[in-house]
Amino acid sequence: MSSHDSILRVGMVGYAFMGAAHSQAWRTVNRVFDLPARVRMALVCGRDEPKVAEAADRLGWDGYTTDWRRLVESDEIDVVDICTPGDSHREIALAALAAGKHVLCEKPLANSVAEAREMTEAAARARESGVRAMCGFNYRRVPAVALMRQLVADGRIGEIRHVRATYLQDWIVDPQFPLVWRLQKDRAGSGALGDIGAHIIDLTQYVTGQLVTGVSALTETFVRQRPLVAGSSGLAAQADGNGSATGQVTVDDAAVFVARLDGGALATYEATRFATGRKNALRVEINGSRGSVVFDLERLNELEFLDATRPAAEQGFSRILVTEPDHPYLGAWWPPGHIIGYEHSFTHQARDFVEAVATGADPAPSFADALQVQLVLDAVTRSAERAAWTEVEPALAEASA
């Protein structure tokens, strides 16, 4: 933390979907949680000046710039929050760390293993000077997920045998949906695999405390040509309207793989943006020797839990409503039974990041943790290309689960 007493001045690069979610978190975090530092939303950056000026006003930022280097180099910034497409993560993060800024970077960490390794090495060097770096896997911060991890760590489901994870969306089912940046490998790195598959890889490793060691994968691109974009390039983009100008989709539309975890569990993963009717359906189920536990994002205030040590006549999945004040994060919110939503996961992420930076602790997931996810993504890609079992390469350093 800088010498500016108890203020953390944040500069954010990018202001679209993730930028709006992060802004909500920065605006809210000190109004909900008692933290050792206060956040000041100092500067937001985007390439289009009229749009970033409007976003700064709408999202609550003190000022704006069209040059991310100005933001990174400013003496008025302590934290750089990276909410851009993956092709710019490396350059911005390396510059910010070199400038002594704490970094929060959206997932996946980078577009390649080489970039992720370089970023992880830079974060390790910066840490020696008290500079902290974290990757934004926000679903870790859903209270039900944090409780799920506690149940597993406390041995409530025993030895883990199976991990079953799916993340299903349908926003590109229409072949006339335009060629947005998320469908271009040079911008996004990969498709459904990196965009949503990264989430369930991180989530399962976080909940189980086990790392993926090898995979066997299939990927598919169902629509290989799409209309070029007119106007917005986000999830609500529109085609250019003439129907003739198209471009090539260079990422996967869907990825499925089986995996082994280092604790002996077998795992299955499915990530697709072609699951017609599924909007943002993330589900993780863990089966163990003493029970099972299930999380479904569409019911994010709940867990399903089965205690197999109970008499057979009493067994069955029970619903845990995760709204009690002694559940993770929830003591700061509402009375029991008053549910929270998607945006709260980002507020909890901001809480944990601010607390770590202000106290000199190591935030999680670290860049090393995010590198480990990147290594799994890379193994999945290589396995699909070779149609063969593929080992996950070792990380540079031991990643904390």
Residue pLDDT, tens place only, 14-51: 999 999 999 999 999 999 999 999 999 999 999 999 99
Residue 388 has pLDDT above 80, yes or no: yes
**What are the beta bridge partners of residue 293?**
286, 305
Would you state the pLDDT for residue 370? Answer: 98
CA dihedral sign of residues 341, 345, 348, 354: negative
How far apart (Å, rounded) are the C-alpha atoms in residues 199 and 141?
Answer: 12
* CA 304 to centroid of chain Cα atoms: 23
Q: Note the pLDDT tens digit of each residue in 46-98.
A: 999 999 999 999 999 999 999 999 999 999 999 999 999 999 999 999 999 99
Q: Mean pLDDT, the chain, as a whole number?
A: 95
* DSSP output for 361-388: ---SS-HHHHHHHHHHHHHHHHHHHHTS
Q: CB burial class (10 A; 0-12, 13-18, 19+) of residue 387?
A: exposed
Q: Which helix (H) or strand (E) holds 72?
A: helix 68-73
Question: ∠96-102-103 over CA atoms, to 5°?
Answer: 70
3-state secondary structure of 222: coil
Percent of the chain with pLDDT over 90: 93
Q: Which helix (H) or strand (E) holds 9?
A: strand 7-13
Residue 232 has pLDDT above 60, yes or no: no
pTM: predicted TM-score of the whole model, two decimal places: 0.94
Residue 229 has pLDDT above 50, yes or no: yes
Q: Note the pLDDT tens digit of each residue in 243-299.
A: 579 999 999 999 999 999 999 999 999 999 999 999 999 999 999 999 999 999 999
Tell me the two tokens of residue 337. Answer: 């039974």
Residue 238 has pLDDT above 80, yes or no: no
3-state secondary structure of 177: coil
What's the average model confidence in pLDDT over 335-359?
A: 98
Which residue in 115, 124, 130 sits closest to 82, CA to CA?
A: 115
